[in-house]
Structure 1
Amino acid sequence: MSLIQISNLTFSYDGSYDNIFENASFQIDSDWKLGFIGRNGRGKTTFFNLLLGKYEYSGQINSSVTFDYFPYEVKNKSELTLNILSEMSSQSEDWEFMRELSLLDIDVEVLYRPFETLSNGEQTKVLLAALFLKEGNFLLIDEPTNHLDALARKTVSNYLKTKKSFILVSHDREFLDESVDHILSINRENIEVQSGKFSTWWENKKRQDEYELKKNEGLKKDISRLKKSADRTSRWSDKVEKSKGVKVSGNKPDKGYVGHKSAKLMKRAKTLETRQNSALEEKIKLLKNIEQNDELKINPLKHHLNRLIEFSDVECFYGEHKVCGPISFIVENGDRVALNGSNGSGKTTILKMILGEQIKYTGQFNVASNLKISYVSQDTSGLKGNLQEYALMKDIDESLFKTILRKMDFERVQFEKNIEDFSSGQKKKVLIAASLCEEAHIYIWDEPLNYIDIFSRMQIEDLIEEFKPTMLFVEHDMFFREEIATKIINM
């Protein structure tokens, strides 16, 4: 066991006036299984790069451990997988690679295949296995679940239970709960470390937020009452002071008495002012870390037909290769249908058919006429230009589009940047915000939550539960799927 100590860490990117971190101080035990959470763009990947020594910073990072980063960059993907893993962890024997792969439900034959022939899920697993075999290193795991289906996520979380010495960035609440024993959170105003899994941290945060909101309301009332009392006392003091030398019923007042009374009232006014300032100082400390989950809105349309999409014994083919099927399901007005299946089971192919892509199939497939569809792709690589240009290209209201992004925690400074410079989560929010601007009969979303932070996922869940749009979606976040779906189609 050793400590990773962060002291007065301050960092900003060249050309930026805003610090990503400012005088941040905390410490981490190198034996912990640490979940790392925070809004998109708060600096999680930046912090990993600072630990890896990629950027200059002020302050101190003291550690006796060596850091490794996932995803590991494979330079020659045509190499045999075993050769790549041996290069990553040169001290490990072949039998050790085989043992780790068996824990991850991977057939050892993948070791003797070119790395590029492995699926995204298989690549994730073999790279994790090799990195964990490097004894004494501390692993920085950056969003490993984005290419994993629900079953693979469960397998990897079970694997991580047997390991230690890592920081895991993930926005999948169930995955975090199954994998970590501490939480490192980048809040709006500070960075904090708590013992326990994510759900424990979340309950603590809700209690703290509720306490601060109540305390804030109480202080607002106290400040208002104290201000009124101080103003009233000050007026009385002024009135008494002015009465010096004024005859009352022909008699001159006792100046000593009047002066004493005025001084007493002034003292009381000062006391009230001090209490008011103390309450203001206490109030200023509150609410700084409360995440503003502003309500999102959507304007779904209702089709004149109840049945919008129907698949009956459909099998899909690429050339002569069957991709999926037979599959049968119906989407009606008000349904929120989740397609569930392992990677490669044909979920995206089904969505592409509905969107009009020409795919060879057998069976019966029908889509209601004049069906307006809003689509969110799982791929963000084609996003270019600025937000104004994107809104124009999508033919959506720019003002509404940017308002939605602001509600999803975009800072105004982001509006001046090109989308290529956004974080992966911010790019995905661009796609979702554009979809929310569109009036549609059905919203088809393909893995919409990849890279999206936990707080924004909750916003989207609240939106869907309130407005109840008709949806067909693919999502491996089990918590989201079980909260939202009215039907689950297993493929």
Structure 2
Amino acid sequence: MSLIQISNLTFSYDTSFDYIFEHVSFQIDTGWRLGLTGRNGRGKTTFLKLLMGEYEYQGSIQSGMEFDYFPFQVEEPEQMTIDVLDRIDPQYELWKIMKELSLLDISDEVLYRTFGSLSNGEQTKVLLAALFAKENHFLLIDEPTNHLDANARRKVAEYLKSKKGFILVSHDRTFLDECIDHILSINKTNIEVQKGNFTSWYQNKMLNDQFEMAENEKLKKEIGRLSDAQKRTAGWSREVEKTKRGTRNSGLRPDRGFIGHKAAKMMKRSKASVTRKEEAVKEKSKLLKNIETMDCLKLSPLAHHARRLAEFKDAAISYGDRTVAEHLSFSVEQGDRIALTGHNGCGKSSVLKLLMGEKISYTGALYVAKGLKISYVPQNTDGLRGNLRDYAYEYGIDESLFKAILRKLDFSRLQFEKRIEEFSEGQKKKVLIARSLCEEAHLYIWDEPLNFIDVFSRMQIEELLLNSCPTLLFVEHDQTFSGRIKTKEVIMRPL
């Protein structure tokens, strides 16, 4: 296998004074199944675009491979899927595509449907099949799991595990563990490459962080001790030097040479203490640069006078002549954290929107407690624009609290000066979550809140929900997150 060699890579956007990458060097084996991780805004997608040659940069990227990027942009979704494949690779061989589709457990009949009529999972699988059917291509896979249900994620992970030669950007810890053999981490101050999956990398990181924090504490104490010793020694030296002059009316003549030698010796010890202190400070400055801060988030949910906040009884939901869900019966009581699960297209989002008061056709019974205040996080970030101040004003939330939460979610102060349109998708999703955390509500309804959100922020949100215990109804396909958070699960069966 060949190598992708990155040397002194330096890049920043024209609209920013900050470098995304500065004098970065490392290498990648093209036979690896490489996971790419890092907090939102660190440059994961930018790095993939640099490999694709879409931006000008300083330094060099050398490889003997052709790169393909997932997701491939389908500009005309009304086309037949087989015609979309022709755009991806005009020289494709149909038998190869059909072989890849079979590995993904999807029927080749999807090729003869319009691309737009396919589910999110079907679209993802078709594009992966088409791109992996190419030979001598290195695939750059950017967030393939967004909007995929748990079963589709497992199948895609199984498929990727059978392949070699790709970089995968994902924040789903379970998904990464199932299909990668190396990990590339974009840290605060450097980039590191390690063998293993996400869990082994994270364990190594925690051990290294603990070691650095322990060393930091030792050096802080050493610096304090040396500072005190330096002050004492310097004080003694001055006092000894004074004795050269003798005491008034004593009639004694001090041994100036001896006293001078003693004072010089003390001063030398003081200087040695200064030198050791400077060395300790220098060592200390090497520590803690890549420790990810995960400050505690807070949420103050409202208490409702009714124990039962909402209930469905034998409900069926439909769009026109198409029924998307039926025989739906469950209740939401205060303190519940309910995971709504099921295949894509089974009506999960429709249930959430119905509770939000949207006009969706249904039969059966739906009860919503009087005076119920709901905070809603939608799937998509479409329509987010303008600055954060205006956004906070529009939703009637406290701007200072809103920005404080975003700071805890790893927003820099410089980010506050940008327009929301310039944010990464993960940063846009954090805007939606931070707004929801600022809203006082009886019930929080979150529809796939973690799409594009980095792993460290997911952990912060997990701890928040476990500590604050809000009433929560959510759809989320991240198995690690859902497994930790849910107190109940409502499974929506396909029709």
TM range (shorter): over 0.9
Letter in 1 for 2:245: G
Query: In structure 2, what is the Cα distance between the partners aligned to 1:297 and 1:357?
Result: 29
> What does residue range 401-412 of structure 1 map to in structure 2 within 5 Å?
401-412=402-413
Letter in 2 for 1:278: E
Tell me the secondary structure at the aligned position of residue 439 of structure 1: coil
Return the offset for 1:247: 4.8
Aligned pair 1:232/2:232, yes or no?
yes
2:355 is matched with 354
Aligned pair 1:481/2:477, yes or no?
no
**After superposition, what is the alpha-carbon deviation per residue over 1:32-73, rounded to whole angstroms, capped at 9, x for unaligned?**
111000111111111111111111111111111111111112
1:326 is matched with 327
2:419 is matched with 418
Return the offset for 1:246: 1.8
> What does residue range 123-272 of structure 1 map to in structure 2 within 5 Å?
123-247=123-247, 249-272=250-273
2:470 is matched with 469
Query: In structure 1, what is the Cα distance between the partners aligned to 2:361 and 2:209?
Result: 54
2:97 is matched with 97
Return the offset for 1:87: 3.6
Are 1:247 and 1:253, in contact at CA under 8 Å, matched by a contact in 2? no
Letter in 2 for 1:77: P
**After superposition, what is the alpha-carbon deviation per residue over 1:226-264, rounded to whole angstroms, capped at 9, x for unaligned?**
100011111111222232232595321222211221121
Tell me the secondary structure at the aligned position of residue 199 of structure 1: helix
Return the offset for 1:303: 0.7
Query: In structure 2, what is the Cα distance between the partners aligned to 1:64 and 1:259?
Result: 72
Query: In structure 2, what is the Cα distance between the partners aligned to 1:268 and 1:68?
Result: 64
Tell me the secondary structure at the aligned position of residue 385 of structure 1: coil
Are 2:227 and 2:277, in contact at CA under 8 Å, matched by a contact in 1? yes
Query: In structure 1, what is the Cα distance between the partners aligned to 2:166 and 2:368?
Result: 48
Aligned pair 1:302/2:303, yes or no?
yes
Are 1:103 and 1:159, in contact at CA under 8 Å, matched by a contact in 2? yes
Unaligned 5+ residue runs, structure 2? none
Return the offset for 1:91: 4.0
Are 2:426 and 2:451, in contact at CA under 8 Å, matched by a contact in 1? yes
Identity value in percent: 62
Note the aligned Cα RMSD (angstroms).
1.2
Are 1:37 and 1:169, in contact at CA under 8 Å, matched by a contact in 2? yes
**After superposition, what is the alpha-carbon deviation per residue over 1:374-423, rounded to whole angstroms, capped at 9, x for unaligned?**
00011111112111111111011111111111111111111111111111
2:55 is matched with 55
2:377 is matched with 376
Query: In structure 2, what is the Cα distance between the partners aligned to 1:236 and 1:293?
Result: 46
Letter in 1 for 2:408: K
1:279 is matched with 280
1:392 is matched with 393
**After superposition, what is the alpha-carbon deviation per residue over 1:273-304, rounded to whole angstroms, capped at 9, x for unaligned?**
11111110011111110111111111101111
Are 1:309 and 1:330, in contact at CA under 8 Å, matched by a contact in 2? yes
2:106 is matched with 106
Return the offset for 1:89: 3.1
Query: In structure 1, what is the Cα distance between the partners aligned to 2:329 and 2:21?
Result: 52
Tell me the secondary structure at the aligned position of residue 317 of structure 2: strand
Q: For structure 1, which segment, 77-86 or 414-423, has the greater mean C-alpha deviation from structure 2 after superposition?
A: 77-86
Query: In structure 1, what is the Cα distance between the partners aligned to 2:33 and 2:61?
Result: 19
Query: In structure 1, what is the Cα distance between the partners aligned to 2:252 and 2:419?
Result: 81
**After superposition, what is the alpha-carbon deviation per residue over 1:428-466, rounded to whole angstroms, capped at 9, x for unaligned?**
000000000011001000000000010100000000000
2:444 is matched with 443
- Give the TM-score normalised by structure 2: 0.97
Aligned pair 1:64/2:94, yes or no?
no
Q: For structure 1, which segment, 80-89 or 199-208, has the greater mean C-alpha deviation from structure 2 after superposition?
A: 80-89
Query: In structure 1, what is the Cα distance between the partners aligned to 2:228 and 2:48?
Result: 51
- Give the TM-score normalised by structure 1: 0.98
Query: In structure 2, what is the Cα distance between the partners aligned to 1:190 and 1:418?
Result: 27
